[in-house]
């Protein structure tokens, strides 16, 4: 099993450009989430999904869109990149049901907006 795969690993964008961060998992997990981590800071929840077709906002959703058309994929779209979105982005997935199901995280995408 590959687990949670994030692509690309590194990306540099110009202000105003748009792009999609990809996240895929092969564990048949219903729950998926996106986090951002600014330098020296903790993780903040951007958006999460409890299943295909269902998404909800987290703590810092502004400037980001998500959709969940399949169980496996949960892409994060930056609509118009801003320097404040320079961060490391982590995707995570989990099985649904009881709160004993822990999350598996990807290795992250390091995004720089210039």
Residues that bind another protein (CB under 8 A): 31, 33, 35, 41-45, 48, 50, 58-59, 90, 92, 94, 96-108
> Closer CB to another protein, residue 12 or residue 41?
41
Residues contacting residue 103 through CB under 8 Å, at least 6 positions apart: 31, 33, 92, 93, 94
Positions of E strands within 19-114: 19-25, 31-37, 43-51, 54-57, 64-66, 76-78, 87-94, 104-105, 109-113
16/26 with CB nearer another protein: 26
Of 2 and 14, CB closest to another protein: 2
Q: What is the nearest approach in angstroms of another protein to the Cβ of residue 41?
A: 8
């Amino acid at each position: 099993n590959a687990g949670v795969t994030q692509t690309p690993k590194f990306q540099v964008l110009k202000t105003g450009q748009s792009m999609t961060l990809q996240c895929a998992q092969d564990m048949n997990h219903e729950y998926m989430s996106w986090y951002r981590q600014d330098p020296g800071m903790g993780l903040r929840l951007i958006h999460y999904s409890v299943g295909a077709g269902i998404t909800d906002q987290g703590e810092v959703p502004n400037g980001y869109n998500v959709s969940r058309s399949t169980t496996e994929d949960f892409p994060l779209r930056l609509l118009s990149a801003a320097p404040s979105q320079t961060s490391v982005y982590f995707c995570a997935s989990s099985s649904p049901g009881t709160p004993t199901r822990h999350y598996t995280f990807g290795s992250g995408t390091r995004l720089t907006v210039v």
